[in-house]
A and B are shown apart, each in its own frame.
Chain A
Amino acid sequence: MSNYKIQSSKFDIWTLDFDIRKMLILGIETSCDETAAALVAGGREILSSVVATQLDLHSRYGGVVPEIAARRHAELIGYVIDQAIVSAGRTLGDVEAVAVTARQGLVGCLLVGAAAAKTLSYARRIPLVGIHHIEGHVFANLLSNPTLPVPHVCLTVSGGHTMLLLVEAPCRYRVLGVTLDDAAGEAFDKVAKFLGLGFPGGPAIEKAAREGNGRAFRFPRPLLRAGNLDFSFSGLKTAVINAVRPLMTGGKPLPVADIAASFQEAAVEVLVSKTLRVALETGVKAVSVTGGVSANRRLRQAFTQACQNKGLEAFFPDLSLCTDNGAMVAAAGYARLNRGEVAGLDLDVVPSALMEL
């Protein structure tokens, strides 16, 4: 067989027949353990958002198992995309572009979403755009808060990431700090697992902490006094486990609520104080917090309070947009397409990718 000439189809989105202001974008997200798709009009209006969560599959392992997650994505992807279109009352023919999380995540998981997205782009002749997962989280906040000013400082905290960004303009970011080891949400998961509170750890810790005293234990605040803006949550998790272990031998019931509350206070204090410090240094007027951990009520309360004290505004996404979803990917895709950025059909996935500036 002779070698075929490989053609890479590129779309010039300006020659396509639609109005970008109303453009209907399908957003696909499979970077971790949620199979998600959504239809968003004009980068703002969410017509549908379908999230097939795999929590039940991973809970028994106390964390996301990559191979199990990838298998589930491959089973569900078509149904989730179809459901996003049908529940919006539209047909596949109405979809004008497809955006997909292609950077940062579990490689086997990213592959499924990207394969689906590029096939749709090819078969329907609609533009394709690949999104960095963290940029998606930034846009979850923009979707929920149309008045969120730019520039602002954005903290993304979830089971997979802890990242502090300066959002200079839509699609222009400066990375200020990242976690040096575990993500914040990962520390919540591990402490919850240790305390026997179940998975995911964020909601479990929050619930247990409600009955507890956040000052009962004085856990360390890793890197709080360090000059940089990086985070370390592995040390905090270890400190909790080391402090709790001796208490487990006496036969007395463990003060689970106090431990959960004290751990939560330590994590929240580190996140709030570093974010606030950089917000004041850069002179922005607003702070946004996104990602799964941003659903934590204590975290929201602490951020709101601290921002008020310093004359800043605090923004959080709607609860439905905190965890991974397709709407945030579609919204980010709209912004990228608006800048004329279109991916080729040879789009590849990058499991650990830097945020582009």
Chain B
Amino acid sequence: MKVLGLDTSSYANAIGVVDDGRVLADFTYEARTDSLQKIVTNIDAVLSETGLALDDIDGFGIGLGPGSWTGIRVGVTVGKMLAYSTGKPACGVTSLEALAYDAREVAETVCTVISAGARDAVYAALFQTGEGGLSRVGDYYVGDVAGLARLGGRGAVYVSAWPPLGEKLAEALGAGPDYKIINGVPRGGTIALLSAARLALGQPDDALALAPLYLKESTARAMQAGIIK
């Protein structure tokens, strides 16, 4: 089964193609303000590199975020319209899950972190990466970098999807051999692999219903709900 995966939740955008567990292409490029401009032409370029046509793709993996609100809207919209246009199934995968999957050989518990775009704000989650596959432990974290120390606990391995964030994290955690920080980005190939596994089990998502995972109310909504003043 050939699956194309894409992610636009971080400062890097990513497109990958897998075929029965084999990564045929995994292309990551910086796209901080020109996600929309580059995404479709890059999908086309990645496909031509693999010698495949869009019609050869059996399903789509779509990075849902969390991450840049504007960014994920581009990727999710492109992903759902690819599925709609080709009549092929699609799966949504979170950016934090993709980061954790890539770190599965580093540690059994990893804390993945992605920038929320404003100051020190981050989204994060803790994952078990053991034999039973990837599973999230507890709820998503939305907050500042300093609060991550408590989330990861002692001996934690952090995967940061924005290099300056890794530096801030190191500052917040202080000196010590207790932790490890790895830089990474949600990769298209990883999103495709994770989606392919779920598609193989016959568990696609409803493509048109897919929506970005924001984790945070917009400021106006939060004010309305009395969450912030």
Contact of B73 with A115 in the complex, beta carbons under 8 Å:
yes
> What sequence of 0s and 1s flags, for each residue 15-55 of chain B, a beta carbon within 8 Å of any chain A beta carbon?
00000000001111000001011111111111011000010
Once the chains are docked, how many angstroms separate the CA of A74 from the CA of B211? 7
**When A6-B45, A74-B77, A111-B36 are in contact, do A1 and B26 touch as well, CB less than 8 Å?**
yes
Contact of A112 with B26 in the complex, beta carbons under 8 Å:
no
Contact of B221 with A116 in the complex, beta carbons under 8 Å:
no
A92: min CB distance to chain B, Å: 7
Chain B residues touching A, majority SS: helix
Contact of B36 with A348 in the complex, beta carbons under 8 Å:
yes
Once the chains are docked, how many angstroms separate the CA of A14 from the CA of B45? 25
> What sequence of 0s and 1s flags, for each residue 51-72 of chain B, a beta carbon within 8 Å of any chain A beta carbon?
0001000000000000001100
Which of B103-111, B120-128, B212-220 lies on the face that meets chain A? Answer: B212-220
* Those of A289-342 within 8 Å (CB) of chain B: none
- A346's partner among B37, B82, B84 (CB-CB below 8 A) is B37
- A67's partner among B41, B69, B81, B211 (CB-CB below 8 A) is B69
Q: Chain B residues with Cβ under 8 A from A349's Cβ?
A: 36
Which size class do B's interface residues fall under? 35 or more
A7 touches B (CB below 8 Å): yes
A30: min CB distance to chain B, Å: 10
A33: min CB distance to chain B, Å: 13
**When A6-B41, A346-B38 are in contact, do A112 and B73 touch as well, CB less than 8 Å?**
yes
**When A79-B208, A124-B85 are in contact, do A116 and B218 touch as well, CB less than 8 Å?**
no
Residue of A nearest to B26 (CB): A1
Q: Chain A residues with Cβ under 8 A from B81's Cβ?
A: 77-78, 81, 115-116, 119-120, 123
Contact of A68 with B208 in the complex, beta carbons under 8 Å:
no
A8 touches B (CB below 8 Å): yes
Q: Chain B residues with Cβ under 8 A from A119's Cβ?
A: 40, 77-78, 81-82, 85
* Those of B120-154 within 8 Å (CB) of chain A: none
Q: Chain B residues with Cβ under 8 A from A108's Cβ?
A: 69-70, 73
Contact of A115 with B74 in the complex, beta carbons under 8 Å:
yes
Chain A residues touching B, majority SS: helix
Once the chains are docked, how many angstroms separate the CA of A107 from the CA of B69? 12
Q: Chain A residues with Cβ under 8 A from B78's Cβ?
A: 115-116, 118-119
Q: Chain B residues with Cβ under 8 A from A18's Cβ?
A: none
Residue of A nearest to B219 (CB): A67
**When A74-B211, A92-B85 are in contact, do A111 and B224 touch as well, CB less than 8 Å?**
no
Q: Chain A residues with Cβ under 8 A from B38's Cβ?
A: 6, 346
**When A67-B69, A74-B211, A78-B81 are in contact, do A115 and B36 touch as well, CB less than 8 Å?**
yes
Once the chains are docked, how many angstroms separate the CA of A71 from the CA of B80? 15
- B54's partner among A73, A120, A123, A347 (CB-CB below 8 A) is A123
Residue of B nearest to A65 (CB): B220
Residue of B nearest to A126 (CB): B85
Residue of B nearest to A108 (CB): B70
A211 touches B (CB below 8 Å): no
Once the chains are docked, how many angstroms separate the CA of A118 from the CA of B44? 12
Contact of A9 with B41 in the complex, beta carbons under 8 Å:
yes
Q: Chain A residues with Cβ under 8 A from B218's Cβ?
A: 65, 67-68, 71
A252 touches B (CB below 8 Å): no
A245 touches B (CB below 8 Å): no
Q: Chain B residues with Cβ under 8 A from A79's Cβ?
A: 208
A75 touches B (CB below 8 Å): yes
> What sequence of 0s and 1s flags, for each residue 155-176 of chain A, a beta carbon within 8 Å of any chain B beta carbon?
0000000000000000000000
B213: min CB distance to chain A, Å: 11
Contact of B208 with A78 in the complex, beta carbons under 8 Å:
yes
A31: min CB distance to chain B, Å: 14
A41 touches B (CB below 8 Å): no
Q: What are 24 A-B pairs at a CB distance below 8 A?
A: A4-B27, A4-B46, A4-B48, A6-B42, A65-B220, A70-B69, A70-B73, A71-B211, A74-B73, A74-B77, A82-B208, A92-B85, A111-B36, A111-B77, A112-B73, A115-B73, A118-B40, A119-B40, A119-B77, A122-B40, A122-B44, A124-B85, A346-B40, A348-B34
Q: A6-B45, A61-B220, A77-B81 are in contact. List 18 more A-B contacts (CB 8 A).
A: A6-B38, A7-B41, A7-B48, A9-B41, A68-B220, A70-B69, A71-B212, A71-B218, A81-B84, A111-B70, A115-B36, A115-B39, A115-B77, A116-B77, A119-B85, A345-B41, A345-B44, A346-B38
Q: Which residues of B contact A (CB under 8 A)?
A: 25-28, 34, 36-46, 48-49, 54, 69-70, 73-74, 76-78, 80-82, 84-86, 207-208, 211-212, 214, 218-221, 224
